[in-house]
Amino acid sequence: MKRRRAIRAFVAALVVPVLLSCAPTTRLAGPDVAAPILTGDSFLTRDGTRLPLKSWIPKAGRPEAVIIALHGFNDYSNFFAGPGAYLAGRGIASYAYDQRGFGAAPGRGFWPGTTALIHDLLTLNGLVHRRHPGLPVYLLGESMGGAVVMVAAASDRAARNVDGVILSAPAVWGRVTMPWYQTAALWLSAHTVPGLTLTGQGLNIVPSDNIDMLRALGRDPLVIKETRIDTLYGLTGLMDAALAASSKLSLPSLILYGEHDEIIPREPTDRMLASLPSGGKYRHRVVLYKNGYHMLLRDLEAKKVWSDIADWVGG
């Protein structure tokens, strides 16, 4: 017995320092140093981080509403170029920015932490309200961006200043819906080889039926092609929080999902939908697209999705 305890102690003495020295890296936001500012092509956060920003504003007349759009994992603000231009033609202004760690934003490739992502979104929401006083403001998120929107929407700040949310294939694949060996492997990898990078090659996953668009993403230097293990670990934590927040989603919501989605499985999506608050005072609309894939906003039938968003916001 003493020998076994000695062996376990010896193994722990070897393994624990390794795990501690290889903890996941998170590029957390710094302390508040300045008032946030919204310019023509960037958004300055409270900790002084400058996030690239794109906007699509109706050319004539005052906009009827405003959308703040958040991109998905490893993507950036350009994801909204098509829908942004379309919505501007329907009288709806849109803003999209590169979230920390993605696109041309600082900390590229490193997970910034869920708290920073939420604070950035809610801060920009306040700035957009000041730029467009009196207009309804909606938060739109695709995949990872949808998860950020869901967690943000559960806050008191969002309840006071957000008129509704639009979730396109929200990333709600939390650990409770993953097999134990998958979560165990992710934890072990994140704590032993956090800097190891992975690609999606060989997985045979089809994110969209728009092949030309997918090829363009493959050539785009701002789209991340190799992902750190600890960034995936951080994303999973965000998805945990988003799934948990679904029961608190009291804001009016439009939820979009493609029947051919191979990125976010149907099981966690159904679990999220079943968790939504129910009752006459809640306004949740779910749209399933028979020919839709994960990247609904850029699929071959994307204009149908854009039209559904415009109709819901205008309604």
CATH code of the domain covering residue 89: 3.40.50.1820
Structural domain span for residue 16: 2-314
Assigned token pair, 83 = 């829908």
Per-residue pLDDT, averaged over 10-36, amounts to 67
Q: What is the pLDDT of residue 42?
A: 96
Q: What is the pLDDT of residue 291?
A: 97
Nearest to 118 by CA among 152, 84, 72: 152
Q: What is the pLDDT of residue 37?
A: 96
Q: What is the pLDDT of residue 5?
A: 52
Burial (Cβ within 10 Å: 0-12, 13-18, ≥19) of residue 173: buried
For 270, phi and psi rounded to 5 degrees? -60, -40
Residue 6, pLDDT > 50, answer no
- Confidence band for 233, pLDDT divided at 50, 70 and 90: very high
- Least reliable range by pLDDT among 6-10, 28-32, 143-147, 155-159: 6-10
- Confidence band for 282, pLDDT divided at 50, 70 and 90: confident
- Confidence band for 102, pLDDT divided at 50, 70 and 90: very high
Q: What is the pLDDT of residue 13?
A: 35
- 59's CB contacts (< 8 A; 6+ apart) are 88
- Confidence band for 12, pLDDT divided at 50, 70 and 90: very low
Per-residue pLDDT, averaged over 169-177, amounts to 95
Q: What is the mean pLDDT of the chain?
A: 91
Identity of the residue numbered 93? A
Residue 70, pLDDT > 50, answer yes
Burial (Cβ within 10 Å: 0-12, 13-18, ≥19) of residue 240: buried
Domain count, the chain: 1
